[in-house]
């Protein structure tokens, strides 16, 4: 599932195509994705002007001049692709309709935004602008890891006394929003913390060290266009590149990349998810 860097990359790709532009025509080609789509969704989107495009956790939000906000979650296999405009050095022409093109937005000026989702685990919804923090999928989310509310004292306090593994704690969206399995593995390796260590047994200093590492890993991943594993593509169809510099994720039985470490990356399963770490330099 796309994590924060992938969603932010898609948002940035959509911004010049959507922000300040009107949806000339919206097509909704099925009644549901993971859940039923909003009633009269095509009618409510057609003619609306996108005032602002933002991100909350792993969700993209488009504020419309109709007083509604469009909420998008990509799910496991959702892809948002742009055509009909010049993106970088390439002109992306409209492709022939594909079997899993479920939602199509034709924008004023000729651009087209197509949502393709073979597994249909994604989600599109509409809500009154300004009510998003009460939405069932957004209510209770923790602070953004790249925002000012997420700092060393906050994280140290939230981890103190927790009896869950630190990996599980960082994946708790109520503690910090947007982190997923890939980037938590990478953060823990950079800080030398084992994913199986109990969160409450970390010293305040070690807990605090997670904050700059989280910011650094996410920022680097966004700059690389995210990580392309399985279905993920950027909005222009290009792959992300951060997977080429993974230190531990997906590198089971390969040498640890910490300078001077002779360890080998190990894989363990925690709550049904794979954790990759070096048992030599991560304690």
Catalytic site residue 3?
yes
CA distance 57 to 74: 12
Catalytic residue among 44, 58, 79, 251: 58
Helix (H, G, I), strand (E, B) or coil at 45: helix
* Phi, psi at 81, each rounded to 5°: -120, 145
CA–CA dist 28, 16 (Å, integer): 23
Residue 2 known to be catalytic? yes
From the candidates 54, 198, 273, 279, give the one annotated as an active-site residue.
273
Token match 């599932």: residue?
1
CB 189 within 8 A of CB 258: yes
Which residues, 6 or more positions from 239, have their beta carbon under 8 angstroms from its beta carbon?
A: 225, 228, 232, 233
Catalytically annotated residue among 2, 5, 143, 145: 2
Q: Determine which helix (DSSP H) or strand (DSSP E) holds 4, and give its type and residue range.
A: helix 4-18
195 given a catalytic annotation: no
* CA distance between the termini of the chain: 28
**Checking DSSP bridges between strand 273-277 and strand 266-270, what pairing results, if any?**
antiparallel
Q: What is the DSSP letter of 115?
A: E
Concerning whether 29 is annotated as a catalytic residue, the answer is no
Which residue in the list 3, 6, 68, 132 is annotated as catalytic?
A: 3
DSSP-assigned letter for residue 161: T
Q: Where are the alpha helices (DSSP H) in the chain?
A: 4-18, 41-45, 152-159, 166-171, 181-191, 204-223
Q: Which residues are catalytic?
A: 2-3, 58, 273
């Amino acid at each position: 599932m796309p994590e924060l860097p992938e969603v932010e990359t898609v948002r940035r790709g959509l911004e010049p195509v959507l922000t300040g532009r009107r949806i000339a025509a919206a097509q909704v080609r099925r009644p549901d994705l993971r859940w039923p789509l909003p009633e009269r969704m095509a009618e409510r989107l057609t003619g609306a002007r996108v005032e602002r495009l933002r991100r909350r956790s792993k969700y993209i939000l488009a504020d419309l001049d109709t007083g509604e906000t469009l909420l998008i979650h990509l799910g496991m296999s959702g892809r948002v692709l742009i055509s009909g405009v010049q993106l970088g050095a390439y002109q992306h022409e409209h492709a022939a309709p594909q079997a899993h093109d479920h939602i199509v937005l034709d924008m004023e000026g000729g651009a087209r935004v197509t949502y393709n989702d073979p597994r249909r685990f994604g989600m599109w919804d509409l809500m009154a602008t300004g009510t998003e923090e009460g939405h069932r999928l957004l209510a209770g989310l923790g602070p953004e890891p790249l925002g000012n509310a997420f700092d060393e004292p906050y994280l140290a306090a939230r981890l103190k006394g927790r009896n869950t593994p630190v990996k599980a704690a960082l994946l708790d969206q109520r503690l910090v929003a947007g982190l997923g399995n890939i980037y938590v593995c990478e953060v823990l390796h950079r800080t030398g913390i084992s994913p199986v260590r109990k969160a409450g047994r970390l010293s305040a200093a070690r807990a605090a060290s997670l904050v700059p590492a989280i910011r650094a890993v996410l920022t680097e991943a966004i700059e690389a266009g995210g990580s392309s594993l399985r279905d993920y593509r950027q909005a222009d169809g290009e792959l992300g590149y951060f997977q080429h510099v993974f230190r531990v994720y997906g590198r089971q039985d390969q040498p640890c990349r910490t300078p001077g470490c002779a360890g080998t990356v190990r894989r363990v399963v925690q709550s049904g998810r794979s954790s990759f770490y070096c048992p030599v330099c991560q304690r």
